Amino acid sequence: MDSRPFRSVLYIPGSKERAMDKARGLAADAIIFDLEDAVAIDEKANARTLLAQTLATSDFGPRAKLVRINGFDTDWAEADLDVITQARPEAILLPKVNAAADIETLAKRLDARAETADTHIWAMMETPQGILNAPEIAAAPRMAGFVMGTNDLAKELNCRFRADRLPMQYALQTCLMAARAAGIVAVDGVYNAFKDGDGLRAECEQGRDLGFDGKTLIHPAQLEIANAVFAPDDAAIDLARRQIAAFDEATAKGLGVAVVDGKIVENLHIVTAKATLARAEAIAVLQGAL
């Protein structure tokens, strides 16, 4: 996994031309162009055609661009692929992934199309079976990321909403562990109360502290908070620089550890410090290009 930012991953309906046009000016690290839940049944055909044309003719800059198709258990998935692949999508997001076989099925379809030779696969992790099979799914062909589908998962679990998300912790941590083992991105689920900034911030901070790369969002008003929470702050950047400098000085003296702010700094801390600086630099580059 590289340092490409995924702090904010915004869902945009594939049926809404105005929303897609507006997205080109939003400070989102990534966009999920949605053909599944956000599109009514009678709009599915029009939406996939509109989205394919939009992706082929519009410049969304350096943002990561994912297309969530409908699942293979529906009547629309094959048509989604036939139309969307013509636009050479960066990644396909497959909903309700239950097993590695689901990813393998999609990978074979992408393998059969020359225009999708470089297209990655992301998986919506939103079913109990999918959570239990997370390690195998993460290691499947073309896999590049997990998106937590906490709304669907809550429905399947019949659990209640809690601010601390206690009922979700097993699923969140299981998927995060699998993603890290496979070296892929892991993005937290949505926060539904898009006008509740304090609640969003608290949930973003929890996701960040667990280790997620960013958060999926349902409204542009949520972008600022997610981008701020999932970016290294000035204190983290300063500490990383001081740790690296102190460790380099210690190494030059033949020592294996350094001390910064009264705490031992070993090589493992330097790996984290360098990753922090690389992330901060990648965010700065992305922001400068938007």
The secondary structure of 238-275 as a DSSP string is HHHHHHHHHHHHHHHTT-S-EEETTEEE-HHHHHHHHH
The model's pLDDT over 83-100, given as tens digits with 9 standing for 90+, comes to 999 999 999 999 999 999
d(CA 93, CA 190): 15
| pLDDT for 240 beyond 70 | yes
Examine residue 150 and state whether it is found in any structural domain, yes or no.
yes
Examine residue 3 and state whether it is found in any structural domain, yes or no.
no
Q: Are residues 143 and 171 in the same domain?
A: yes
Cβ within 8 Å of residue 193, ≥6 positions away: 199, 200
Q: Are residues 220 and 276 in the same domain?
A: no
pLDDT at 1: 59
Examine residue 2 and state whether it is found in any structural domain, yes or no.
no
pLDDT at 3: 78
Where residue 127 falls among pLDDT bands split at 50, 70, 90? Answer: very high
| pLDDT for 69 beyond 90 | yes
pLDDT at 175: 98
| pLDDT for 180 beyond 90 | yes
Q: Are residues 128 and 264 in the same domain?
A: no
| pLDDT for 23 beyond 80 | yes
* Chosen domain end from 229, 252, 279: 229
pLDDT at 288: 83
Higher pLDDT, 287 or 129: 129
Average pLDDT over residues 7-27: 96
Q: Are residues 204 and 284 in the same domain?
A: no
Q: Are residues 253 and 136 in the same domain?
A: no
| Structural domains of the chain, count | 2
The whole model's pTM is what? 0.94
Name residue 188's beta-bridge partners. 215
Name residue 68's beta-bridge partners. 34, 93
d(CA 75, CA 39): 14
The model's pLDDT over 41-66, given as tens digits with 9 standing for 90+, comes to 999 999 999 999 999 999 999 999 99
Where residue 287 falls among pLDDT bands split at 50, 70, 90? Answer: confident
* Chosen domain end from 203, 229, 255: 229
Average pLDDT over residues 170-192: 98
Q: Are residues 271 and 137 in the same domain?
A: no
Q: Are residues 143 and 246 in the same domain?
A: no
Q: What is the CATH number of the domain that holds 52?
A: 3.20.20.60
Cβ within 8 Å of residue 25, ≥6 positions away: none
d(CA 153, CA 131): 9
| pLDDT for 2 beyond 80 | no
Residue numbers of the domain that contains 117: 8-229
Average pLDDT over residues 142-150: 98
Q: Are residues 145 and 277 in the same domain?
A: no
Average pLDDT, the chain: 95
Q: Are residues 209 and 251 in the same domain?
A: no
Q: Are residues 244 and 181 in the same domain?
A: no
